[in-house]
């Protein structure tokens, strides 16, 4: 099949970089998004999200005429759906964005087109998408009806890029491609091979869906192991950071790092899709989610204990006079992304509960979110100068560079193990 025009539906953290990379290979790309502001921004050659170097690639793609954004679907040879798949009440996956995207592209589909679902999805979502498309276009045939002889090819190809390294990983990572039939897989591979330097490995749609969920659940379970160790070590008075360093010297042990909880839009969400599909069987995966989700409350308890300890060393002082400094709001180090961040949740809770002043250090942002209006954004130096109790939540580079002697005498809760305690 020859692909001269690609349409990417959903211009967020995955869709926009993908659209831009196709365009950088001189393929005509139409990006579609329901958000008018995002469409206008892209058509001006600018971006509405934060990702290193993406602004340059989008700017070049738009000025050279290869990338154009629109709020309505238009005809193309291949459609990539990269819309969100959040969960609703009870951790049930919400496929409504995929349904809307399917209904939006259905009218412009023509014989020979390829439709790829890139959104992280529960097992069976690609088949469901194909069913929605078939319902809207009874004049065309789909793989579930005609197998390899279908008019439309359908595949699932999950994204696996790490925020902050998206442009490099999009090109270099291996891709798992799960077609509804073999011809679907081959068509999708031909498309990705226009820019993917990694291997494109073929499988079926259900395995590809499960593969993506498995990767993120694997990480979640391993982080939960580290988080559980940190809670056990606190009870046993063992330094968990030293413990993990030592255990990792074993050639077949590689424990991840404990933290204040798991944030981001993927690792804290995707395992629930497995739990929802197999609630009886997914015991370990569910428990890992619960362990990681319970970590912020444990950190807040530790902070209260530290405030209590400070007060016991300073008789006559009241909690109102204790200044707490929270270091870091982002969901992981050296990025400015605060969405789904346990550090942000903890800081909000501290600012609500603590009677005294709360200051915040987050070197990657210039203004605090509205939910933290009761706190003050300040520099590392200002925070150390005025605070009595420091709460380290994110291991940003500038925090690792703080000289240990400047922390002497301060009460510290370090959820990342970077400061001497």
Output the CA angle 26-27-29, nearest 5 degrees: 125
- Residue 56: CB partners within 8 Å, gap ≥ 6? none
Count of residues making up the chain = 421
Taking CB under 6 A as the criterion, the residue among 216, 351, 375, 411 binding ligand SAJ is 216
Q: Does residue 363 belong to the site contacting ligand SAJ (CB under 6 A)?
A: no
Structure token digits, residue 122 = 């529960």
Q: CA–CA separation, 341 vs 14, rounded Å?
A: 19
Q: Does residue 266 belong to the site contacting ligand SAJ (CB under 6 A)?
A: yes
Residues 69-88 that bind ligand SAJ (CB under 6 A): none
Stretch that binds ligand SAJ, among 49-57, 156-164, 281-289, 368-376 (CB under 6 A): 156-164
Q: CA–CA separation, 328 vs 324, rounded Å?
A: 13
Q: Does residue 344 belong to the site contacting ligand SAJ (CB under 6 A)?
A: no
Output the CA angle 146-6-191, nearest 5 degrees: 65
- Please say whether the beta carbons of 166 and 20 come within 8 A: no
Minimum CB distance to ligand SAJ, residue 219 (Å): 4
Residues 236-265 that bind ligand SAJ (CB under 6 A): 256-257, 259, 262-264
Residue count at the site for ligand SAJ (CB under 6 A)?
20
Closest CA to 158 of 101, 215, 197: 215
Q: Choosing from 38, 157, 200, 266, which is the catalytic residue?
A: 266
Q: Does residue 219 belong to the site contacting ligand SAJ (CB under 6 A)?
A: yes
- Please say whether the beta carbons of 208 and 156 come within 8 A: yes
Q: How many other CB atoms are found less than 10 A from the CB of residue 274?
A: 21
Q: Choosing from 212, 295, 332, 357, which is the catalytic residue?
A: 212
- Residue 259: CB partners within 8 Å, gap ≥ 6? 223, 226, 227, 295, 342, 415, 416
Q: Is 266 a catalytic residue?
A: yes
Binding pattern for the stretch 119-138 against ligand SAJ, x by CB under 6 A and - elsewhere: -x------------------
Taking CB under 6 A as the criterion, the residue among 223, 306, 322, 323 binding ligand SAJ is 223
Taking CB under 6 A as the criterion, the residue among 162, 247, 355, 421 binding ligand SAJ is 162
DSSP state of 343: H
Minimum CB distance to ligand SAJ, residue 119 (Å): 10
Taking CB under 6 A as the criterion, the residue among 310, 332, 348, 396 binding ligand SAJ is 332
Q: CA–CA separation, 64 vs 26, rounded Å?
A: 9
Question: Active-site residues: which are they?
Answer: 212, 266
Q: What residues line the site for ligand SAJ (CB under 6 A)?
A: 120, 159-163, 215-216, 219, 223, 256-257, 259, 262-264, 266-267, 331-332
């Amino acid at each position: 099949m020859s692909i001269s025009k690609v349409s990417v539906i959903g211009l967020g953290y995955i869709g926009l970089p993908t659209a831009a990379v196709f365009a950088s290979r001189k393929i005509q790309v139409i990006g579609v998004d329901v958000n008018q502001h995002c469409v206008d921004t892209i058509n001006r050659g600018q971006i509405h999200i934060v990702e290193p170097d993406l602004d340059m690639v989008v700017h070049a793609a738009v000025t050279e005429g290869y990338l154009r954004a629109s709020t309505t679907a238009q005809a193309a040879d291949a459609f990539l759906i990269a819309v969100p798949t959040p969960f609703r009440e009870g951790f049930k996956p919400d496929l409504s964005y995929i349904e809307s995207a399917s209904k939006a592209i259905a009218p412009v589909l023509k014989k020979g087109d390829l439709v790829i679902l890139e959104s992280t999805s529960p097992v069976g979502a690609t088949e469901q998408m194909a069913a929605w498309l078939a319902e809207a276009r009874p004049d065309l045939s789909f793989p579930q009806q005609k197998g390899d002889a279908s008019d439309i090819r359908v595949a699932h190809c999950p994204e696996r890029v790490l925020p902050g390294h998206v442009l490099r990983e999009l090109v270099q990572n291996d891709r798992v491609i799960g077609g509804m039939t073999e011809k679907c897989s081959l068509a999708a591979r031909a498309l990705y091979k226009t820019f993917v330097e990694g291997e494109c490995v073929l499988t079926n749609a259900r395995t590809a869906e499960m593969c993506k969920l498995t990767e993120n659940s694997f990480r979640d379970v391993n982080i939960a192991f580290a988080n559980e160790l940190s809670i056990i070590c606190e009870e046993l008075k063992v330094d968990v950071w030293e413990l993990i360093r030592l255990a990792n010297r074993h050639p077949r042990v590689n424990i991840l790092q404990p933290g204040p909880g798991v944030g981001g839009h993927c690792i804290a969400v995707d395992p629930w899709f497995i739990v929802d599909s197999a609630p009886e069987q997914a015991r370990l995966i569910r428990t890992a989610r619960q362990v990681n989700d319970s970590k912020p409350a444990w950190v807040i308890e530790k902070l209260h204990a530290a405030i209590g300890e400070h007060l016991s060393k300073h008789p006559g002082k009241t909690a109102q006079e204790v200044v707490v400094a929270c270091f870091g709001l982002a969901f992981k180090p050296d990025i400015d992304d605060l969405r789904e961040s346990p550090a942000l949740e903890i800081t909000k809770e501290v600012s609500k509960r603590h009677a005294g002043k709360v200051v915040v250090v987050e070197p990657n942002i210039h203004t605090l979110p509205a939910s933290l209006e009761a706190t003050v954004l300040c520099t590392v130096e200002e925070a150390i100068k005025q605070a009595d109790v420091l709460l380290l939540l994110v291991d940003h580079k500038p925090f690792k560079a703080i000289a240990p002697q400047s922390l002497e005498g301060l009460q510290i809760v370090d959820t990342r193990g970077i400061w001497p305690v």
